[in-house]
Structure 1
């Protein structure tokens, strides 16, 4: 449900952005994506302080339940009703089967899978960060929360600056660059977890994450530019593909070696996906 709702928020934003010049639309998407990262700046450092005081990790679950209930109330009261918006929302006229067949076209499916592979590195990072920053290397749950909070917090200004700094640049080349930067962070995290140098990794993580989390949104929506809702559905498929790829990397890596191999497999898959995407679109 979270993935579906996440995509539909950007579908609504895409339709609302049609009232603005085309050159500004990527910037609008980047600002909205940055707003999703902003709570990490506040929430995770707060949890770091709470855990440092001895609170149980499971305390996040009842708090999360209360916050989710509040979000549900906001959605029920404020979600735009059909026909009440200031932009045009034309139905596709396709049946459910036809819509699925459209998304299964090789042109779309291959690109969604490639972007899913890119996204797998971020999924692996979230999976292993609490497994490598452990007491055996002098780390604690508070360090994990602080690290993740710093990465997400630094992503926000980079996300906001990205549209202006990269205007006119090829999106697939940007994604490849972002994947390479993020790979530095993921590949070195297991080996540097117990070192003070680990805190330097937040910079390539933030820059690479800002690119790989924002640029694919506009890229996917442009694959079905005349249908924002369907374009947003591709985002959910991308996340699903990324989760599946990350799970396979995790299973294989832990079976053969450990979390270091998991990270390296994620890095290889991510850069390969970004490279294939750039190669596929090199003449577009």
Structure 2
């Protein structure tokens, strides 16, 4: 009888150990699965939203009756509408050609502004999320201070030619040929005595067959007595055209434009061959409101 009870006790202990062992293995497997799941879980990072930035020209000048252009540069989150709205503080002075604009892939938008009448106005550009930027528009009129018309058959208007023929005048057109590198010619009158502050634009009515249309104008004043790079203005002309082109030099682009304007040298092209023609030259004052 005692042997039987002992056997039963042993069997009970073995059964208990078996159950405990099975539970331990199951718990270990569960823990391993949870650990594996935790190790393989990927946490996705969220990119912070892009803060909107808008930049436009601080100020531009437009001739009354003509058009000018503002360049808007926009940086905005892709989730937002990139369209820009445009408004004028006074459409009787300056008005946008369109009420809205959408930048291209480079974030830039060209905004055309019409100069309506003499005066000043502010163009406000606004993003879809309310960010604004402003451009001051000055609409001006033109007053011709001096004009050189080529009516003298002796063509005495220029001298000091370099790599250019001496030129001739026929039917009011001054014509010269480029004969080598670094062509230029100098206006002979060194005592024009024009107030530089009154001249905002030097305008050439110009036609050329040269392969390059880059033009440079060097000037002399009562304080600038020798031609140099600082006392110069640049523009680019379209060449090979049938009609005369209007080529404007903006005098505000040189820090040396001051005092009395006395003479100038014109480099009509960087090409070493071609024909150039001048119809007239105007010295223009910007009359601003």
Question: In terms of Rg, which structure is larger?
Answer: 2
With CA pairs under 8 Å and 6+ residues apart, which has the higher RCO, 1 or 2? 1
TM-score (norm 2): 0.19
Of Structure 1 and Structure 2, the greater helix share is in 1
Of Structure 1 and Structure 2, the greater strand share is in 2
